[in-house]
Amino acid sequence: MIIKKQCLQTLLMWLIFPVALNAQQPLDSLLPVRGFCIAAPSVKDVDRFVKFIDEELAPRKVNTLILRVDYNYQYTSHPELADSGALSKNDVQKIVSVCKKNHISLMPQVNLLGHQSWANRTAKLLSVYPQFDETPKVMMPEKYEWPNPDNFYCKSYCPLHPDVHKIVFDVVDEICDVFQSTAFHAGMDEVFYLGETQCPRCGGKDKAELFANEVRSIDEHLTEKGRNLWIWGDRLIDGKTTGLGMWEASYNNTYRAIDMIPKDVVICDWHYERADKTPVYFAMKGLNVITCPWNKPEIAVMQTNDMVNFRKTASKEMQPHFYGMMQTVWSGAGNFLDAFYGKKAGGNGSDQTDWRCFVEMYNVINNL
């Protein structure tokens, strides 16, 4: 009798909540990675960011959260590299806990190789260790403008400097430990300064090999610790032939590195203006790929449908390489939360904002 009653209850559950009971498994197979990438919050925004994870990311079935930390953490291995007012271990612990509770895998990003400065501000690594600068003769401008005679976008560190990896790997290990993460995002996008003629170590070397060797060094280090490497994909695409240009693809001859990097690297393939079919290119090279939109909801929806279709129609060899989708946010976390919760208008009242893109893309994902 008791067994019969339990059977009846189960049957009723299936009849009443068929979607709820079935939802997770099919969504995981349709779109295994459902990501969100944003700058790590400042200390004052940690609590409301935790609330946002709990009340907005988790119910939308986001399962991967990447926080761009860089030097916004009180590193104990290298306190000299911590930004002023950086996050404490306790701050990060709050984020780790809410992610664990909601089965969201949390991953830190620290920009390696490129993006060692922004506009007229040098980031911590090169301001503390200027000897790692790939282009020490390029002076930081008082007011940043693009274009400029130095073709200066962001500083890079020299990947062949004998002391650079010891320091950045300490930072990577510490932030991955505190995040309790099994993966790490190394950035590596928009690297314009690489293999510069003036660099006594890199000058004259093949830029694709320099880039690939740096990816391999980081990947090997992470693999030793049981962790996986994620990077942005732009340096691996030929900008001229594809017409994708020098930002979201490479004009500085790094693209041949696509055939030289380890196959376990996860490529975050960002395209904000069109639904380019580049994920197919990465998957055909045996690389794992995630499509990353930003602020155009209609493009993100198209890209989501593409990703689902790629998975449905691919060969069994390529299918597992199509990992999923990830919303990217390039404002600070505080600004994003203000716009999301309507505290201030984002994007001048336009529909083309990161938060609308996030909402609309996840509407589509949750209706798959």
Q: Which residues bind Zn ion (CB under 5 A)?
A: 134, 158, 160, 199, 201-202
Q: Are 308 and 269 in contact (CB under 8 A)?
A: no
Least separation in angstroms between CB 151 and Zn ion: 16
* 121 to 68, 126, 137, 153, 155: CA distances (angstroms): 17, 10, 16, 11, 10
Among the listed residues 187, 275, 266, 273, the one whose alpha carbon sits nearest the alpha carbon of residue 227: 266
If the CB atoms of residues 94 and 201 are measured against Zn ion, the closer one turns out to be: 201
Shortest Cβ 196–Zn ion spacing (Å): 6
Q: Which is nearer to Zn ion, 26 or 203 (CB)?
A: 203
Q: Tell me the C-alpha distance between 150 and 11, whole Å.
A: 70
Minimal distance, residue 156 CB to Zn ion, in Å: 8
Which is closer to Zn ion, CB of 191 or CB of 275?
191
Q: Nearest 5°: CA angle at 150, between 146 and 152? A: 50
Shortest CB 205 distance to Zn ion, Å: 8
Beta bridge partners of 117: 122
Nearest approach in angstroms of CB 201 to Zn ion is 4
Residue among 132 and 362 whose Cβ is closer to Zn ion: 132
Handedness of CA 203, 205, 209, 214 (dihedral sign): negative
Between 160 and 299, name the residue whose CB sits nearer to Zn ion.
Answer: 160
Distance of closest approach, residue 259 Cβ to Zn ion, in angstroms = 23
Q: Is residue 350 helix, strand or coil? A: coil
Place of tokens 């994003």: 336
Three-state SS for 66-89 is EEECCCCECCCCCHHHCCCCCECH
| Residue 251, SS3 per DSSP | coil
Give the C-alpha separation, 240 to 21, whole Å: 48
The residue (of 165 and 356) whose beta carbon lies closer to Zn ion is 165
Per-residue tokens: 196? 């510069």
Give min distance, CB of 154 to Zn ion, in A: 15
Q: What are the DSSP calls for 87-125, one per residue?
A: BPHHHHHHHHHHHHHTTPEEEEEEEESS-SEETTEE-HH
Considering the complex, state which of residue 167 and residue 202 has its C-beta at the smaller distance from Zn ion.
Answer: 202
Nearest distance, CB of residue 133 and Zn ion, angstroms:
9
Of 158 and 301, the one with the shorter C-beta distance to Zn ion is 158
Residue 64: in which H helix or E strand, if any? strand 64-68
